[in-house]
A and B are shown apart, each in its own frame.
Chain A
Amino acid sequence: MRTTRILTAALLAGAALFTTAGAAVADTPGPSPSASSGDTPTEAGTGFRTATAIEQGQKATASASTGDYLYWQFPAGANQRPTVKATVQLPEASLRHGAATWQLDVFDGLRRHQACASGEPTQRAGAQDASVTLTCTLRTVRPWSERWANDPLPGAYYIRLTVADGPDQDHGLPVKTEVRADAKDVGGSRAEGGEVAPLHAAALKEPEDGWNGSWWSDRWAWTVGGAVLGALAAIGGYTLTRHPHRFRRPPAGR
């Protein structure tokens, strides 16, 4: 009888731990999808030095000429997987001379080109298309990496949008562009240790969870849950050897 009580208590404690863990996950603010305070940027920079700072989840627009190189920068913290989406409203089809390829590049704070793990960073716009949409999802930002690696690290990320290939006669024609950078929290499976100072992030606002992500990850729940389970199993094993009769059927006649 006592064993059952102990067991229930332990199980309850374990359950409580897991549920509070869940609540904590829900409480931690996400990467702020709608933190667009103030005006949205309506200009783009023309180089790394002049890149316009945008926030995560903020829609930035800019009018430009075909052939311009447009630069923006956005912040990303550890354990986030940023996705950049750019839409280009092409010049009137009657003014254009053919198809053109548009390209979206993402660089980290050290101006190192970052690979797009998924998405479509280059698109060919047909001669009659009105707009073209480009996307790029980076690898997960890590809080630390070896100095030889070019893994994404917390800090600034530069977006460069331009026409990569197209008829020369079309250069200089007006286009309207729109970019937006979002980030998804990847969760405990990628929670890592270590810390580096954010890369070139002086002009940017720190993400909600800080540059190095929150200390919380579901690894805490798994590890503590595992410890509780181990303790319960130990108690169970001990009881099994010490009071084996309790686990047998009561003898007939009682």
Chain B
Amino acid sequence: MDEKELQQSRRGFVKKTTALIGAAVLTAPSANAISLTNPGRERGDARYIGQEGKRFGMVIDLRKCVGCQACTSACKSENRVPKEKFRTYVPEYELGTYPNVHKAFLPQLCNHCAEPSCVSVCPTGATFARKDGIVVVDSEVCWGCGYCINACPYDKRYFNPITNVADKCTLCAHRVDHGLLPACVESCVGGARVFGDFNDPHSAVSKLLSSFPTTVLKPASGTKPRVFYIALSGEIQGLPYSPNVLDDMARKIDGMPTTREWSTKGE
């Protein structure tokens, strides 16, 4: 079996496994029910429990996003995200036909879903939602099987090559738990990213939700994301893939690693 075939057979294996786990989830009453015990949660560690009574999330006002990638860089710096990995990123699109073309930006991060499919597939209990809704991974418990990475319909988890376990956006839980804001929000140049508590009707996020029509990504996936978008163009959802992801192509030419979150499909 050459390398390519090996890859394909592995992919096939993944698909089957996923389907199997998917079926199991269907029979489970809720995501929490299949979460296994986790020592941190059992001993009531605040990092695991989160802030009771709150429901954190984000509203992203796309009218204010300028696609500057300050969030991307702030996150990488704050969270020591390994090279070639991202917890958040802002893809940029062109919509329309010359000369009637417009730019579109879509800041993306973990949606901290109310029904997180990543949690339901975790065989170890390493990934779970805190009581304040922040979905986290316990890197002590995770053994890096990768099911959650495959299960996330948003592709917002990655394999951390340093810790050898699954990794993802924590909404900067370490900052939020200390009364601060997530790094991406702190550094959002246009002021598009608004973080807050959806349980508080007076919070900025609640007010935005009640004042503007909002959309979530892939509503049909049933995950109930808690990252909402104002003025998200319907055209972006379900866009075709780029024929080639050119950055990856340039990296390949240079002999640089290309195992990136958005590596070209079918490459």
A and B together in one complex: no
Which residues from chain A sit less than 8 Å from chain B, CB to CB? none
Q: Which residues of chain B have a CB within 8 Å of any CB of chain A?
A: none
